[in-house]
Homo-oligomer: A and B are copies of this chain.
């Protein structure tokens, strides 16, 4: 279904009585102002009259650049990655790029198809947000195409240029805060399906040990099967059922924890909901600390104490890396192995206080 041809620079060159080169320079380039005011006026007039609009394909065909960046968001409705997308969008535009967001396909076959259509030529570079399915397939292919990309908030275990928060610092901060409040019985809740949350578990255990505290096995819950199912828009199991069951088990222990460190705010909120349902008061009887400072963290009562990922800083760092790769030069090589860790922030709100019955 070919559409009627829109006006091209050829046409406006003719009506303005100049060459297409001049038109091209004036309209689609901010070169030096090497154009006389008179011809400039004539051209702009003609362009306006005819309703000219540049054809990005023709330009891209020549320049091999589109000025477009892409972001692959594993879940368009994710409360954290969507906030991150906005930060990246803002920063991209500030630097003269536009950002388009899509979600990765569900399996590797589809993924390759998607790659072919989108990633190969449409975008100058890509952001990969979080841990997505077929991550290895994706980056292998991008490497093959020599397409610049940066992993953002996907953990530090990936063999790719990446920007992430310092999870070790964040978890240590959370544990230190709880211990400072007087807690000794501190549990950890995360999903076994994300390597990033596995890493956070490791940092939790490591830091507990360094403080001379024990993290008994029954205090560590890594849920299985809890991950994004592409295009499942309900999220009921993931954000409610599974973490609530885990929390209930934790709180039903003979010696229940007095505080729970959650690998993300979604789980933390589920723990809060579970406590409310069980009649356990938060924070009086149970302290909860999250991770990420996601959108719903302040929507409920009490508001969630958590560790924030500074999204603006992350976006700036991510664009620094990607743009350096785009511009090539000597900087590019370094950036290919960049591993930037951004400092997290402790956000104290209403879900933590000293334990009431004195433990220990």
Asked if residues B116 and A54 are in contact (CB atoms below 8 Å), the reply is yes
Asked if residues B327 and A300 are in contact (CB atoms below 8 Å), the reply is no
What's the Cα separation between A165 and B51 when bound, in Å? Answer: 35
Asked if residues A233 and B83 are in contact (CB atoms below 8 Å), the reply is yes
| Residue interface mask A84-111, B partner, CB < 8 A = 1 | 0111011001000011111101000000
What's the Cα separation between A116 and B28 when bound, in Å? Answer: 11
Question: Contact size class for A?
Answer: 35 or more
Residue of B nearest to A85 (CB): B76
Whether, in the assembled complex, A239 has its beta carbon less than 8 Å from a beta carbon of chain B, the answer is yes
What's the Cα separation between A90 and B58 when bound, in Å? Answer: 30
Select the stretch in A10-18, A62-70, A212-220 that faces chain B.
A62-70
Select the stretch in A32-40, A169-177, A185-193, A270-278 that faces chain B.
A270-278
Asked if residues A299 and B240 are in contact (CB atoms below 8 Å), the reply is yes
Residue of B nearest to A77 (CB): B82
What's the Cα separation between A253 and B114 when bound, in Å? Answer: 57
Asked if residues A56 and B6 are in contact (CB atoms below 8 Å), the reply is no
Point out the residues of chain B lying under 8 angstroms from A295, CB to CB: 77, 79, 235
Which of the residues B51, B79, B102 comes within 8 Å of A100, measured between beta carbons? Answer: B102
Whether, in the assembled complex, A251 has its beta carbon less than 8 Å from a beta carbon of chain B, the answer is no
Point out the residues of chain B lying under 8 angstroms from A181, CB to CB: none
Residue of B nearest to A3 (CB): B64
Asked if residues B77 and A299 are in contact (CB atoms below 8 Å), the reply is no
Select the stretch in A118-126, A150-158, A255-263, A284-292 that faces chain B.
A118-126
Can you list 30 A-B pairs, Cβ within 8 angstroms, ordered by A?
Answer: A2-B65, A3-B65, A5-B64, A6-B145, A51-B145, A53-B116, A55-B121, A56-B117, A56-B122, A57-B58, A58-B61, A67-B117, A76-B89, A79-B295, A87-B233, A89-B231, A98-B118, A100-B100, A100-B101, A236-B298, A239-B298, A240-B298, A240-B299, A266-B299, A269-B300, A273-B300, A277-B301, A296-B299, A299-B300, A300-B300
